[in-house]
Amino acid sequence: MVVAVVEEIASRSRYRGLLYDPPRPAPEFALRAAANRLVRLSDLRGKVVLLYFGYTACPDVCPTTLSALRRVQKSLGARASQVQVVHVTVDPERDTPERLHQYLSGFHPDFLGLSGSLDELKPVWQAYGVVREVEPAPQSALGYFVNHSARVYLIDPEGRLFLSYAYGTPPEDILYDVQLMLK
């Protein structure tokens, strides 16, 4: 009995991200991808999902995070097909599914961008604890910025919210955890 408990603690402490203890079912959602394709989180079961909330006009945090996720994806080599990066917008006014697809393709062709109406997205943001605040920027050509939380969530192949990563987590740490998850 004691050995089993020690082994369980050791296996959980080997991850570099913040562990959800115990891992719990990831909140389900259904949003739109390019070509008006409806995507449910449950459609991605069997893959490790790296879920991120951001927007295409983000000047700094989003491109930095997506570049890190690109490094993770490219470093996986042949195993990359077992991982899906999903970017859910926090700016549905500007981020159509097509715009997300075009933007994310610049980082990696397999990244999946999802959008919806404000009413469809609000419960998803709430379920994942995403903080979102629109900040008027009349001096900018954009008109406004969206301040938002910047965590990456790792959902395991069984659909459980397993780990999360703060903004600025080295891609090597995320890669390390993904590789453990794929073993």
Domain span at residue 75 reads 2-182
Looking at residue 11, its pLDDT comes to: 53
Looking at residue 12, its pLDDT comes to: 53
The Cα–Cα gap between 66 and 88 comes to 12
pLDDT beyond 70 at 159 = yes
What CATH number corresponds to the domain at position 29?
Answer: 3.40.30.10
Looking at residue 17, its pLDDT comes to: 97
Looking at residue 130, its pLDDT comes to: 97
Q: What is the pLDDT of residues 8-23, one digit of tens each?
A: 444 556 999 999 999 9
pLDDT beyond 70 at 34 = yes
Q: How many domains does the chain have?
A: 1
The arithmetic mean of pLDDT across residues 162-179, rounded, is 98
Residue 88 forms beta bridges with which residues? 53, 114
- Helix residue spans in 76-134 (DSSP H): 97-105, 118-127
- The beta strands (E) that lie in 48-111 are given as 48-54, 83-89
Q: How many CB atoms lie within 10 A of CB 120?
A: 15
The Cα–Cα gap between 170 and 168 comes to 6
Residues with Cβ within 8 Å of 126's Cβ and at least 6 positions away in sequence, in order, are: none
